[in-house]
Structure 1
Amino acid sequence: MDVQRAQDIFASKDMIAVHLDGEPVWIEEVDVTNKMATVQVGSRPTNTHTVGVERLEEQDH
């Protein structure tokens, strides 16, 4: 995924499925300058990772 799409998903009011390495994640923050995103893995708010946005995949419904 590119950084603009990650930012669009983060700002969207819709629930858009995003996966990281096959695991569902929620985008918590997008760092446009560095093309990084902080994501929450699963349902635990403390389980967060900062990864390159290119590792994120939008899931088709």
Structure 2
Amino acid sequence: METHRAKEITDSPNMIPVTYNGTPVFIQHVDEKNETARIYPLDSPEEELEVAVRGLNEE
């Protein structure tokens, strides 16, 4: 995924399906400078991860 699209998804009022390594995730924050995102699996909100935006996939 491109950084600007991840940012659009984060700013959207609608829930847009996104996965990371096949796991459905929620994007909390996008760092456009470093091209990373803070995410967590939908079924485990306590498991926050910082990942490369390019590893995210819009379903």
TM-score normalised by length of structure 1: 0.92
Please list, as runs of the form range in 1=range in 2, the aligned pairs for 1:1-61 lying within 5 A after superposition: 1-59=1-59
> Following the alignment from structure 1 to structure 2, what is the Cα–Cα distance between the partners of residues 52 and 2?
10
Task: Give the fraction of aligned pairs with identical amino acids, expressed as a percent.
Answer: 36
Q: Secondary structure at the match of 1:57?
A: strand
CA distance in 1, matches of 2:50, 2:43: 16
- Structure 1: give runs of 5+ residues left out of the alignment: none
> TM-score, normalized by length of structure 2?
0.95
Q: Which consecutive residues of structure 2, in runs of 5 or more, have no partner in the other structure? A: none
CA-to-aligned-CA distance 1:32-55 (integer Å, 9 cap, x gap) = 000000001133221111000000
CA–CA distance in structure 1, aligned partners of residues 44 and 29 of structure 2: 16
